[in-house]
Amino acid sequence: MLKIGSHTLDNNLILSPMAGITDRPFRQLCKQMGAGMTVSEMTASDPALRKHPRTQLKLDHKGETGIRSIQIVGTDPQQMAHAAFLNQKNGAQIIDINMGCPAKKVCNVAAGSALLRDEPRVKAILEAVVEATDIPVTLKYRTGWDPQNKNATTIAQIAEQAGISALALHGRTRECKYKGNAEYDTIKAVKQAVTIPVFANGDIDSVEKARFVLDYTGADGLLIGRAAQGRPWFFKEISHFLNHGEKMPALEINHIRKLVLDHIYDIHTFYGERMGVKIARKHIGWYFIRLSEELLPLVKKSHLLETADQQLKAVESIFNYHQKNQHTYNAA
């Protein structure tokens, strides 16, 4: 059984933290759909931002089941340590440190993957956070700053020595962002260089790819990010394939209909109608683009609606339109 510190995971498939996506409604849904653990979207360690309403929502785990892992981001070791301490006090069971985000607004302040250029600062942050908490601390990072400056193995060894409990490695440099192919050779090398659990991340978009990445890298588990957008049941599909060597039967369209409607309703409830309707739009788009590109004109029309009731009725009507000639969901 896979453990992170004292916590035993339900399986080795984790929902990757994604800014603006892995909120409480989506985390709960992915857990219901087979994720062994989920991680919150990144939260700023800067004290000036902690009271912002959006930050408070990111930290809302009320009623959430399973292990509560909170991701923090920042550049100052003491600020990061204090943020970790406060999150533990507020119920976090694992602290995840972000050194993987390639976004300009994060890297421009030397946070996220920009930290990979400053190994002494990486060491200072990791040691400070581990020292400040009594719970496991994990690190999510990339293979380096750019293809000419890869230091994933060095960072992994620094992390292990600092007391980090597990690593999640996205197989790309910061410069690559999400382009090109993930570097599974680098993930394999990191796994061989440390004794703590290593999770592979990047381009895992099919059950066959999941099996290949686990076998090739020797990773202890997988982080699933973009492939879960509009397809939260991907975790169940992977588990079924790994356990039985065959693909799970396609989900019935009525099952998907209820799942999507429940998810949109939970978003409205969590954020309130005004913000919830706006946030739900991207999820609606992801669900229906996987169903059929022919539905996109209807999806775009639904994005113009401004009330929760209108949005839910629009989602129902899109399903009705599609269900006239197709009864299974295209998971690809």
Asked whether residue 170 falls in the same domain as residue 39, the answer is yes
Residues 266 and 174 in one domain: no
In a domain, 328, yes or no: no
CA dist 74 and 23 (Å) reads: 20
Residue 59 scores a pLDDT above 60: yes
The range of the structural domain enclosing residue 314 comes to: 253-323
Domain membership flag for residue 314: yes
The DSSP 8-state label assigned to residue 252 in this structure reads: B
Per-residue model confidence as pLDDT tens digits over 306-319: 999 999 999 999 99
Question: Among the three residues 198, 220, 244, which one is the final residue of a domain in this structure?
Answer: 244
User: Is residue 332 included in any domain, yes or no?
Assistant: no
Q: Are 106 and 227 found together in one domain?
A: yes
Mean pLDDT for all residues in the chain? 90
Minimal CA–CA distance to 210: which of 12, 1, 37? 12
> What number is the average pLDDT over the span 156-176?
93
Q: Verify that 289 and 179 share a domain, yes or no.
A: no
Written as one string, the DSSP assignment of 45-60 is: --GGGTTSHHHHHHT-
User: Could you tell me if residue 263 is inside a domain?
Assistant: yes
Mean of pLDDT values over 292-319 = 95
Q: Same domain, yes or no, for 27 and 166?
A: yes
Query: pLDDT (tens digit, 9 = 90+) per residue, 73-131?
Result: 988 999 999 999 999 998 999 999 998 665 544 444 445 567 888 899 999 999 999 99
**Would the pLDDT of 277 be above 80?**
yes
Is residue 101 annotated as part of the catalytic site, yes or no? yes
Contact 200, 223 (CB under 8 A): yes
CA 311, 275, 30, 209 dihedral sign is positive
Per-residue model confidence as pLDDT tens digits over 229-239: 999 999 999 99
Q: Is the pLDDT of residue 327 over 50?
A: no
Residue 137 in domain = yes
Tell whether 65 and 7 lie within a shared domain: yes
Share of the chain above pLDDT 70, in %: 89
E-only strand ranges, the chain: 3-4, 7-8, 13-15, 37-39, 43-44, 68-73, 94-99, 137-142, 144-146, 149-150, 166-170, 198-201, 221-224
Query: What's the pLDDT at 180?
Result: 75
Number of domains in the chain: 2
The full DSSP string for 68-115 is EEEEEE-S-HHHHHHHHHHHHHTT-SEEEEEE----HHHHTTT-GGGG
